[in-house]
Structure 1
Amino acid sequence: MRIGELSRRTGVPARLLRYYEAQDLLHPGRGANDYRAYPESAVADVQQIRGLLDSGLTTEMIRAILPYLSGPGELHPPAECVTPETAALLKGHIDRIQSRIDCLARNRDRLSAYLAAVRPEAGDG
């Protein structure tokens, strides 16, 4: 499929798809007319890239782990392929995610307590 169709099917602008290619995250073939030609699997690849970006991973981190992803939520890198630098990047990111989760949980609990205090009937959720 061409870049316009991939853009329509994923909701990702063509400009970003070209950026993902420049970042070595997508690898389209080229047709005889030199247009990008994406396989059907590119739809899932783009969705995976978007999910990883949305979780806060950088393109550098994604590039390091993308070859080992077999699907959303499934990571199967051989241990020898995970360099100490990549492991440190991932550990740092995990720590940042946990900090955000902790902060969000505290805010949720405080807002729930406030709402229960000012509108007891609304506290039932």
Structure 2
Amino acid sequence: MKIGEAARVSGVSARSLRYYEDEGLIVPGRCGNGFRDYCQSTIDRVLVVRSLLESGLPVRLVREALPHLAEGTDRGTDVVCEEFLHEVRSYRDRLAARIAVLVEQQSALDAYLRKARRTDP
């Protein structure tokens, strides 16, 4: 299917599909005229990519994970997947630390605003 239909079927914009391709996340086929040709397996991969990106993972981690998500479950894949899960946990922990800082800043601003309201004429 062409990019417009692939966008409709996957729920991802044509622009996002091009971006995923530019980032090496998907590799659509090409027709004789050079147009992109999306098969069902590429659409399935697009859905996985979108899900991972929407969860907040950076493109770098998604790119690293994709080959292993498509492979079978052999011993080598288990090790790589464990490494990937470690990176995801680490990313989540860094995100939680950033959220904690933002919550502290928000609380400080709320306190400032409460104090400012009390001193308004």
**Is TM more than 0.5 here?**
yes
Kindly indicate whether residue 73 of structure 2 is the aligned counterpart of residue 94 of structure 1: no
With structure 1 as the length reference, what TM-score do the two structures score? 0.63
- 1:74-115 Cα offsets, whole Å, 9 max, x none, are 987242x46x7x566323123256x39xx8xxxxxxxxxxxx
Counterpart Cα distance in 2 of 1:17 and 1:30? 14
Q: Which residue of 1 aligns with 2:9?
A: 9
The residue type equivalent to 2:40 in the other structure is: E
Counterpart Cα distance in 1 of 2:62 and 2:73? 12
Shift of 1:25: 0.2
- Secondary structure, counterpart of 1:69 in structure 2: helix
Kindly indicate whether residue 34 of structure 2 is the aligned counterpart of residue 34 of structure 1: yes
The residue type equivalent to 2:90 in the other structure is: G
Query: Larger radius of gyration, structure 1 or 2?
Result: 2
Task: Give runs of aligned pairs for residues 1-125 of structure 1, distance below 5 A.
Answer: 1-70=1-70, 77-79=77-79, 81=80, 89-96=87-94, 99=96
How large is the RMSD of aligned CA atoms in angstroms?
Answer: 3.1
Q: Percent identity?
A: 37
- Secondary structure, counterpart of 1:27 in structure 2: coil
With structure 2 as the length reference, what TM-score do the two structures score? 0.65
Q: How many residues align?
A: 96
- Secondary structure, counterpart of 1:20 in structure 2: helix
Are the aligned partners of 1:28 and 1:36 in contact in 2 as well (CA < 8 Å)? yes
In structure 2, relative to structure 1, the CA distance for the partners of 1:25 and 1:75 (3 Å cut) is farther
Counterpart Cα distance in 1 of 2:73 and 2:51? 14
- 1:51-76 Cα offsets, whole Å, 9 max, x none, are 101111111100001011149xx987
Q: Counting helix residues as a fraction of each chain, which structure ranks higher? A: 2
